[in-house]
Amino acid sequence: MALGKDYAAQDCALARALEVLGERWTLLIVRDVFYGVRRYSDFLAHLDIPRAVLAARLQALVEAGVLDKVRYSDTPPRDEYVITEMGRELWPALHTLSAWGGRHLSANGSRRVFAHAACGTLVGPNGICPSCAVEVPVTDLDVLPGVYSPRRDDPVSRAMRLPHRMLTPLTCEH
Ligand SMILES: [Zn+2]
């Protein structure tokens, strides 16, 4: 899913990354995967994204090696989307970008915050736990509602009203 011929011709690592991640919705899908969203119907409910766009973005992320598509039911055929090792490496960039948006572009601040599960302390925008002075791996983070918490009423938002360990599957009741 190239952004354009001229852009694709850029011999630049950032351009390569944006070829994979730079389209509208893509990073929000990746963010939801970190929250534990795995199923098409859950992405759809949480993101209010057109079906065809969601299907195309998921397909592109699988082709790029960011997500794996894993069959969890044969009748009817249903797949889950699980992040790969390569995809996991996106967490620090995603977290920094989100903190930047909260600081400069969102009058209400961040909707969600992240705590070091071992000690309960909120991590800083650099991903470091101020209590333990370590960079916390995403698997050791809990995501919880921030100060600004609009009551969206979709299955994913409901499941995320309580603290939830990052990357563990969210149970969403439809
Ligand atoms: Zn800590």
Query: Rounded CA gap, 83 and 61, in Å?
Result: 9
Q: Which residue has the tokens 């919705």?
A: 25
DSSP, res 135 = E
125: CA distance to ligand 1 center in Å?
Answer: 14
pTM, full prediction: 0.91
DSSP, res 121 = P
75: CA distance to ligand 1 center in Å?
Answer: 44
114: CA distance to ligand 1 center in Å?
Answer: 11
102: CA distance to ligand 1 center in Å?
Answer: 22
Mean pLDDT of 11-35: 94
For the stretch 57-112, pLDDT in tens is 999 999 999 999 999 999 999 999 999 999 999 999 999 999 888 889 988 777 88
What values do phi and psi take at 83, rounded to 5?
-75, 145
135: CA distance to ligand 1 center in Å?
Answer: 9
Query: Rounded CA gap, 82 and 30, in Å?
Result: 10
Mean pLDDT of 25-34: 97
144: CA distance to ligand 1 center in Å?
Answer: 15
Q: Which two tokens stand for residue 126?
A: 């650099």
130: CA distance to ligand 1 center in Å?
Answer: 7
pLDDT at 110: 77
For the stretch 112-159, pLDDT in tens is 899 999 999 999 888 999 999 999 999 999 999 887 666 788 999 999
pLDDT at 42: 96
C-alpha distances out from residue 65 to 68, 85, 134, 143, Å: 7, 9, 29, 25
pLDDT at 54: 98
- The size of the chain, in residues, is 174
116: CA distance to ligand 1 center in Å?
Answer: 5
122: CA distance to ligand 1 center in Å?
Answer: 8
What values do phi and psi take at 172, rounded to 5?
-110, 125
User: Do the beta carbons of residue 14 and residue 8 sit within 8 Å?
Assistant: no
52: CA distance to ligand 1 center in Å?
Answer: 41
Residues whose CB is less than 8 angstroms from the CB of residue 103 and which lie 6 or more positions away in sequence, other chains included: 125
